[in-house]
């Protein structure tokens, strides 16, 4: 499903340049549950952003479902982000003044899904998370755990093939973090590919595979 070959990412120019990724080779099979671990500044999030079509490599090739992604234009990349990928970020990225429904329905709006269908899909995904009673609540009134569940709902609302999670437990207490990982495992169990960036090895051990990154290089695969 995902194949990276000699991926390099350099920010800046000349003496001010920084090499965030240095010749990364990586293959991720459909249905994998993969943890990407490494110290701060190692290139974990840069790698996730390239996989998620949020950034482009400076060199190398990226194939997603057999398609050469680095050659895609802005509109093509936006379509992939909306239809193939789902994103979960550490700070949840919810709009506080919006209701839970409005926050979760954002990807559906970009996909031109009808309002009636939006309502049905949001109700269904909230029911999966045990949050159906929160549908009309402003995001500002949710607990931290509920905010993360809402963020997961938004990530899976378009039924993406791949879910990308950047430090999804970083702002959570241990119990809530474990609950979130269990939800990600359940998403994986129905056939979705789940990729988690984390600094927490206890989270990584719950995944099927782990890769370690240091100084922009993959130094270990488990």
Question: Given this structure, which CATH class describes domain 31-53+82-221?
Answer: alpha beta
Number of C-beta neighbours around residue 18 at 10 A: 10
151 Cβ contact list (under 8 Å, min separation 6): 88, 89, 92, 93, 94
8 Å CB contact between 131 and 54: no
What pTM did the predictor assign? 0.92
Domain residue ranges in the chain: 31-53+82-221
Q: What are the tens digits of pLDDT across the range 73-122?
A: 999 999 999 999 999 988 889 999 999 999 999 999 988 999 999 999 99
**Which residues are registered as beta bridge partners of 99?**
138
């Amino acid at each position: 499903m995902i194949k990276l070959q000699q991926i390099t990412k350099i920010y800046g120019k000349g003496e001010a340049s920084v090499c965030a990724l240095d010749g990364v080779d990586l293959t991720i099979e459909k249905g994998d549950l993969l943890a990407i671990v490494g110290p701060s500044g190692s290139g974990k999030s840069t790698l996730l952003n390239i996989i998620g079509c949020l950034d482009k490599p400076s060199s190398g090739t990226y194939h997603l479902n057999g398609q050469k992604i680095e050659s895609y234009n802005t509109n093509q990349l936006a379509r992939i982000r909306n239809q193939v990928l789902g994103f979960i970020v550490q700070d949840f990225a919810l709009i506080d003044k919006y209701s839970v429904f409005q926050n979760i329905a954002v990807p559906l709006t970009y996909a031109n899904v009808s309002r009636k269908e939006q309502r049905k899909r949001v109700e269904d995904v909230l029911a999966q998370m045990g949050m159906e009673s929160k549908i009309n609540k402003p995001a500002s009134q949710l607990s931290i755990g509920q905010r993360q569940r809402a963020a997961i709902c938004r990530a899976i609302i378009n039924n993406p093939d791949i879910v990308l999670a950047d430090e999804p437990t970083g702002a959570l207490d241990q119990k809530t973090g474990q609950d979130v990982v269990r939800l990600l495992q359940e998403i994986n169990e129905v056939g979705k590919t789940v990729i988690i960036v984390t600094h927490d090895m206890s989270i990584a051990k719950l995944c099927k595979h782990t890769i370690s990154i240091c100084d922009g290089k993959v130094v270990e695969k488990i």
